A and B are shown apart, each in its own frame.
Chain A
Amino acid sequence: DGGITQSPKYLFRKEGQNVTLSCEQNLNHDAMYWYRQDPGQGLRLIYYSQIVNDFQKGDIAEGYSVSREKKESFPLTVTSAQKNPTAFYLCASSISVNTEAFFGQGTRLTVV
């Protein structure tokens, strides 16, 4: 079945360590996105990519990095520079701009 797969579902890391969250889609979508969700707040855009080998910062990119070497994959690295990394992270994709977005199941990251 076509869809977006995020892994792992739960992730624990020690403070100061970088960690990479995986996002893979087999929908042949050009655009991919990473969002962060915190309690009581709406989803906020971290990074997005409209095409392979290109990506743009979203509203809260500081402390994060991404790559888009393949159309299917858009991994997010949470670096030690991110001051408050514990959150729920959602990946999404869409065919192109201004089309419906499809979301993954999310990764809950806890930094201890």
Chain B
Amino acid sequence: KNEVEQSPQNLTAQEGEFITINCSYSVGISALHWLQQHPGGGIVSLFMLSSGKKKHGRLIATINIQEKHSSLHITASHPRDSAVYICAVRPPSYNTDKLIFGTGTRLQVFP
């Protein structure tokens, strides 16, 4: 079993829909990252969370440390949001930025 599980693996939506991507992890963590990977392969860091909630534009990320769960929400989705969204966690026992990655959620938003 992977230490970081994402769901769903694939997601399609119509433009304007509210989208939720989930991430569950089985290890203790010091931080959780949400990343966006575009079709060309480059990765952009969206959020780094250790508690609570963060918002950036139409993106909202939440984390529940007790339940070992995080969600990424996209409001008013747009075709340009189509990408793979990756959850990654950093265990606190490591003395470096060694992240454990989920396998990603592929999102397609249709006009």
Contacts and interface: CB of A to CB of B under 8 A. Distances in A.
Interface of A: 31, 33, 40-45, 48, 50, 56, 58, 88, 90, 92, 94, 97-106, 108
What is the predominant secondary structure among interface residues of chain A facing chain B?
A: strand
11 contacts: A44-B101, A48-B97, A48-B98, A56-B96, A92-B43, A97-B96, A98-B97, A101-B33, A101-B45, A101-B99, A108-B41
Interface residues of B, number: 26
Nearest to B100: A42
Contact of A88 (B33, B41, B96): B41
B86 A97 contact: no
A8 B75 CA distance: 36
A35 to B, nearest CB: 8
A63 B77 CA distance: 42
B41 A45 contact: no
Contacts of B102: 42
A101 B42 contact: no
Nearest to A94: B97
Contacts, number: 63
Interface of B: 2, 4, 30-31, 33, 35, 40-45, 48, 86, 88, 90, 95-104
A45 B98 contact: yes
Given A42-B4, A42-B100, A42-B103, A100 B48 contact: yes
A99 B97 CA distance: 7
Contacts of A97: 95-97
A42 B86 contact: yes
B101 A105 contact: no
Contact of B43 (A50, A94, A98, A103): A103
- What are the 8 tightest A-B residue pairs by CB atom distance, in nearest-first order? A42-B101, A103-B43, A105-B42, A106-B41, A43-B101, A100-B48, A42-B103, A97-B96
A59 B4 CA distance: 16
